[in-house]
Amino acid sequence: MWSNSSNSAPFLLTGFPGMETTHRWISIPFFTVYVSIIFGNGTLLFLIKNDHSLHEPMYYFLAMLATTDLGVTLTTMPTVLGVLWLNQREIGHGICFSQAYFIHTLSIVESGVLLAMAYDRFVAICNPLRYTTILTNSQVIKIGIVVLMRAALSIMPIIVRLHWLPYCHSHILSHAFCLHQDVIKLACSNITFNRLYPVVVVFAMVLVDFLIIVFSYVLILKTVMGIASGEERAKALNTCVSHICCILVFYVTVVGLTFIHRFGKHVPHVVHITMSYVYFLFPPLMNPVIYSVKTKQIQNGFLRMFSHHKTGA
């Protein structure tokens, strides 16, 4: 009877404990960041779609990255703002599990897209003569589908199992959105599979992705160092700068969040919560900024877009 009654009760989301009176003020920077993410990534997608000079594999992968970042933001934003603005803490099990599924899936998708972008730079620099024949439009679509399916299928087992677990603890989650590792703490049955499987997924995908990216850049650097002209070397490396910055932003936040969760038992809880928001908000906020600042083709695209609007007006 306790499992039936507890399973029917909704989970309770948590904002910033002890700071409830300032939630409305805290929501201002959150809302500003959310709007910036939507505007930045949305503008990037609009530009890539409408500027034919950007219809190349490198920018198709960038569009995938921007779409993933928008997905993460739109998945977390409703419940976070609901808690901060309206104190809307209750969330049904189905909605909670769905949110957790999309959050974790999109995190793995982001890692996969960064790997695909590394492959694009590897082919462009190490095998430039075959670039257009290797990375055709159909090949880019296939890579995108594989990246998406890999993430979607790998996360499915642990989320499906959440529906069958009994929940007998407080039902209070520690964030304003649902995470798998947060939900399983409330379960009162054997959760060994749900504890071990995500570790295997992270090591088999995110860590392997990172190692392959590092290896690809070792080969890229080796090829670039073999170029006689210093100007050509600089030009080749410059095409990788934006991607390297995005890799650092993503993986540094991953490592930071992991260290806080694993070794920060005595760190104030607000630090854990803040790091979670940094993990979900910082890469989507920075990626369009990095590419807008560091990529000349994107800058030229913006100039063409604004000049077109001015002449049209």
3-18 pLDDT, tens digit each = 444 566 899 999 998 8
How buried is 284 (Cβ within 10 angstroms: 0-12 exposed, 13-18 middle, 19+ buried)?
Answer: buried
Compute the distance between CA of residue 140 and CA of residue 134 in angstroms, rounded to an integer. Answer: 9
Helices then strands, counting H and E runs in the chain, come out as 12, 2
% the chain with pLDDT above 70? 95
Q: What is the mean pLDDT of the chain?
A: 89
Q: Is the pLDDT of residue 279 over 60?
A: yes
231 versus 278: the higher-pLDDT residue is: 278
Most confidently modeled range among 16-20, 62-66, 195-199: 62-66
Q: Residue 160: give the domain boundaries.
A: 11-305
% the chain with pLDDT above 90? 62
| pLDDT tens-digit series, residues 78-126 | 999 999 999 999 999 999 999 999 999 999 999 999 999 999 999 999 9
The dihedral built from the CA positions of residue 198, 145, 112 and 50, taken in this order, carries a sign that is negative
Provide the pLDDT for residue 42: 95
Please report, in angstroms and rounded to a whole number, the separation of the first and last CA atoms in the chain: 68
- The answer as to whether 3 is a domain residue is no
Compute the distance between CA of residue 115 and CA of residue 136 in angstroms, rounded to an integer. Answer: 17
Provide the pLDDT for residue 23: 93
- The answer as to whether 78 is a domain residue is yes
pLDDT band at 256 (very low <50, low <70, confident <90, very high): confident
**Distance set, CA 243 to CA 173, 213, 313 (Å):** 35, 11, 35
Provide the pLDDT for residue 169: 72
- The answer as to whether 101 is a domain residue is yes
- The answer as to whether 58 is a domain residue is yes
pLDDT band at 150 (very low <50, low <70, confident <90, very high): very high
Number of structural domains (the chain) is 1
pLDDT band at 2 (very low <50, low <70, confident <90, very high): very low
Q: How many CB atoms lie within 10 A of CB 287?
A: 26
The CATH code of the domain that includes 301 is 1.20.1070.10
Give pTM, 2 decimals: 0.91
- The answer as to whether 4 is a domain residue is no
Q: What ranges make up the beta strands (E) of the chain?
A: 11-12, 90-91
- The answer as to whether 88 is a domain residue is yes
- The answer as to whether 149 is a domain residue is yes
- The answer as to whether 311 is a domain residue is no
Provide the pLDDT for residue 125: 92
